[in-house]
Amino acid sequence: MLLDFLICRQPLYLAHITMPLAYSLSYLVFSAIYYAAGGTYHRDRTSRYIYDVLDWSSPSGPSTLSALIVLLVVPFLYLIFIVLYAWRLKCSRSAGVGPAKQTAPDSADVGNSLA
């Protein structure tokens, strides 16, 4: 995945962080609802959790871990990707293969395209 990220020309914007955060938060909400609805672990059918670390019987453990992951780890990993993206742009521009700079069209060009 990292190699693909480094060689592709897909842009990365800071606003894209909403997707990993939304996914993480939705999974945590699902996990809490799963516990509250009486869902059980598939192997022993008595434990009310999906994973050991998300055992909501004592909410201080999973809620603290989940908050750390969602609020610190996910943004930190995304920041690493933003830095790698900036480095990739700098390298591609210095090699002359970066995206072309867009210039405003001349007024004469605009008039000719309408005729």
Q: Is 18 helix (H, G, I), strand (E, B) or coil?
A: helix
Angle (deg, nearest 10), helices 74-94 and 18-36: 160
pTM: 0.59
Closest to 47 (Cα-Cα) out of 72, 108, 39: 39
- How is residue 55 written in tokens? 């055992």
Degrees, nearest 5: CA angle 44-49-50: 90
Query: Could you read off the pLDDT of 14-60 as tens digits, one per residue?
Result: 888 888 888 888 988 888 888 888 877 767 767 777 777 777 777 77
